[in-house]
Amino acid sequence: MSYVGPDFDPPQPRRSRRRPLTITVAALVPVALVGWLVYEAVADTGDSSDGAAPATATSASRSATASPTADGKRSASSSPTAPTAGGPAASGPLKGKVVLIDPGHNPGNFRHPSDINRKVNIGTNRKECDTTGAATNSGYPEAQFTLDVARRLRPLLQQQGATVKFTQDGDRAWGPCVNERARMGNEAHADAAISIHADGAAAGDRGFHVILPASVHEGAADTRPIVAPSRDLGERIAGSFVRVTKSAPSNYLGNGTGVVVRGDLGGLNLSTVPKVFIECGNMRDSKDAALLTSGAWRQKAAQGISEGIVSFLHG
């Protein structure tokens, strides 16, 4: 998570190219139908060219995908404050447990500067609704990274029997705001919540860190009941993340512990359920960026986060 915007050009829509009609419509129909079926069977929303493919969205989440409006803008067809369901949970040791996954930022945020720049109340003060997030020097955006890791994390938790909810799953044009993200976890009565990010620090700053909520009691914020369980959750995630990914804790924050406490993040300040952030690495460092852009490493990141959450929920 960085508070600077990505320095890459917004993706441009592809222009369709007309080709001469060389075959009849009757011949095209069955071919198109077969092609569509094949696409549906293999479609993948994340970059997984060098690793295990992330789980595809369920039919329920696909039906909630944002649709074009009359003025050409996209708007979520589901309630903007309702967490995106992740499909039915399997029976397992975490049956009955709810996990809220918050993929940081949104790939469409850069198209909506006025929406994401408006200030919202985070308890201690007012802060921007959201940001565009960071990006690697080659232009791989944090928002794409966070969605990919989140989608890989979901089935790992579901296999343990947990019910998994998302704050957004690529089904919104922008956002949600940081206060909405916190509220979604609260209203879901999540047993654990994780916000996934990647940092945008200086080159040479390497490693991951987990952010824990400080003890805040001001305005609408009161984290006192969740400070202890959030620390337990965060320390377990940090430990499993090191073990699975072999990544070192941050060399620029946390004094080598991989754990940082902050009281300035609305997603933590306004949470009433155990919640942490994880900065999986620094997108601006070339060595970290090589990991963050690897599908195989992102799968390990999801596995490390999952094992920490499962350990916490097992107690």
Distance CA 130, CA 156 (A): 28
Q: Taking Cα atoms as reference points, which of 252, 240, 159, 131 lies closest to residue 194? A: 240
Q: Which CA distances in Å does 283 have to 6, 211, 239, 301, 312?
A: 10, 17, 21, 15, 28
CB atoms within 10 A of CB 19: 6
Pick the catalytic residue from 142, 180, 279, 307. 279
Distance CA 87, CA 104 (A): 21
Residue 279 annotated as catalytic: yes
CB-neighbour burial class of residue 160 (10 A; exposed 0-12, middle 13-18, buried 19+):
buried
Q: Which CA distances in Å does 230 have to 136, 149, 170, 211?
A: 29, 21, 27, 9
Distance CA 107, CA 105 (A): 7
Task: Transcribe 132-180 into DSSP letters.
Answer: ---B-TT--BHHHHHHHHHHHHHHHHHTTT-EEEES-SS-SSS---HHH
Residues 6+ apart with CB under 8 A from 157: 94, 99, 164, 306, 309, 310
Active site residue ranges? 279
